[in-house]
Amino acid sequence: MPLLETRGLTKRFGGLVAVDGVDLSVEEGEIFAMIGPNGAGKTTMFNLIAGLYKPSSGTIRFRGKWVYPVREYWRTYLPPLAGYYTMANAVRQALGAGRLPIGLRPHAVTALGIARTFQNIRLFSYMTALENVMVGEHVRMRAQVWDALLRSPYARKEERQVRDRAMEFLRFVGLERYAEQYARNLPYGFQRRLEIARALATQPTLLMLDEPAAGFNPQEKAQLMDLIQEIRRRGITIFLIEHDMKVVMEVSERIVVLDYGEKIAEGPPQKVRTDPRVIEAYLGKSA
Ligand SMILES: Nc1ncnc2c1ncn2[C@@H]1O[C@H](COP(=O)(O)OP(=O)(O)OP(=O)(O)O)[C@@H](O)[C@H]1O
Ligand SMILES: [Mg+2]
């Protein structure tokens, strides 16, 4: 069973089909890359998988669990609950509360084991590097509100552990010296690494990186790819969006190519590189 699987995944924005019936599977332990021209739908794919966008149609499964639609899961495995769901929706709609969500919310997707970084860096600017990573760990913390309010021994112990672990993640990405700096004051390249550290702090099984090396020079790119391979060696599967063909060819075992929202090729780098449709998508348009 693949780690992550989408079937017929589709997202429409008004008349525009940003993602068009995409089937893909990411296998456990691989570095899987998604490439394609600007506007091909790559970031939209990430947003669908992460629960940020609701698909127009199609399915998403992670480790055999449904991410979208959750309703389908109930229908298949728990028929009585499906009836409850329909009834609950009728009541909610009568009260003007809107339908129940039928996909997992972003925090639930994170809790399942999917972490991601953003094409446009999203950090808490006025928090320190360390605090940003601690936020990532939050999804795994156990202390309850009353523990925090009462400063219970459990909450204090957990807070210490969270701090120590956050420091380890910073060390891992090479930023321990900047732990107390505001995120906004870090150089661009360090902010990218900090985002990766925060994603790792959620203890993911799958790490999705949206153009993590954008704007890097060749040397910075090479260093980042080393880091990505090191993350994989720790047992985390990598799903990478990257523009630089050379980087993608070197680092990934399998590649999927999107063009106008459609999957036009999939396979090992050598095969994809020589695929006529891929060559056309990349070169044909500028020619
Ligand atoms: N929230 C949105 N509302 C409307 N249209 C959107 C939205 N998000 C993306 N799109 C459109 O969907 C298409 C795919 O966009 P997407 O950002 O997924 O492309 P991409 O492959 O990540 O491109 P890039 O390489 O430039 O990052 C584009 O035409 C874009 O304008
Ligand atoms: Mg994008």
Among 15-29, 76-90, 230-244, the minimum mean pLDDT is found in 76-90
62 falls within a domain: no
Atom of ligand 1 minimally distant from the CA of 44: 18
Structural domain that includes position 171: 26-54+104-284
Give the CATH number, domain containing residue 38. Answer: 3.40.50.300
Segment 8-23 shows an average pLDDT of 97
Atom of ligand 1 minimally distant from the CA of 47: 18
- Give the mean pLDDT of the chain: 90
Nearest to 263 by CA among 96, 102, 24, 55: 24
| Closest ligand, as measured to the CA of 260 | 1
Segment 270-276 shows an average pLDDT of 92
- pLDDT tens string 126-145: 999 999 999 999 887 776 66
pLDDT at residue 287 above 50?
no
Q: Which of 12, 42, 48, 259 to mutate to test the pocket of ligand 1 (most atoms within 8 A of CB)?
A: 42
161 falls within a domain: yes
Among 90-99, 192-201, 252-261, the minimum mean pLDDT is found in 90-99
CA of 190 from ligand 1 middle (Å) equals 26
Q: What is the pTM of this model?
A: 0.89
The tokens for 103 are 């996909």
Is there an atom of ligand 1 within 6 Å of 47 CB? no
257 falls within a domain: yes
99 falls within a domain: no
The pLDDT confidence band at residue 110, using thresholds 50, 70 and 90, is very high
- pLDDT tens string 200-258: 999 999 999 999 999 999 999 999 999 999 999 999 999 999 988 888 988 999 999 99
Is there an atom of ligand 1 within 6 Å of 36 CB? yes
What residue's CA is closest to ligand 1, atom 4?
A: 13
DSSP letter, residue 65: E
Q: Which of 12, 19, 43, 239 to mutate to test the pocket of ligand 1 (most atoms within 8 A of CB)?
A: 43
The pLDDT confidence band at residue 80, using thresholds 50, 70 and 90, is low
Q: How far apart are CA 167 and CA 129, in angstroms?
A: 9
Is there an atom of ligand 1 within 6 Å of 39 CB? yes
Q: How far apart are CA 54 and CA 145, in angstroms?
A: 31
Domains: count for the chain? 1
Atom of ligand 1 minimally distant from the CA of 36: 21
Q: Higher model confidence: residue 35 or residue 149?
A: 35
CA of 38 from ligand 1 middle (Å) equals 8
Is there an atom of ligand 1 within 6 Å of 18 CB? yes
135 falls within a domain: yes
| Closest ligand, as measured to the CA of 44 | 1
pLDDT at residue 18 above 90?
yes
Handedness of CA 81, 86, 91, 93 (dihedral sign): positive
User: In whole angstroms, how far apart are CA 38 and each of 87, 177, 211, 215, 261?
Assistant: 43, 36, 12, 15, 11
2 falls within a domain: no
CB 18 within 8 A of CB 10: no
Contacts of 67 (CB under 8 A, 6+ apart): 49, 51, 60, 61, 103, 104, 109, 112
Atom of ligand 1 minimally distant from the CA of 14: 4
Is there an atom of ligand 1 within 6 Å of 40 CB? yes
Atom of ligand 1 minimally distant from the CA of 243: 25
Helix axes 188-200, 218-233, angle to 10 degrees: 10
Is there an atom of ligand 1 within 6 Å of 257 CB? no
Handedness of CA 200, 204, 209, 213 (dihedral sign): positive
63 falls within a domain: no
97 falls within a domain: no
3-state secondary structure of 222: helix
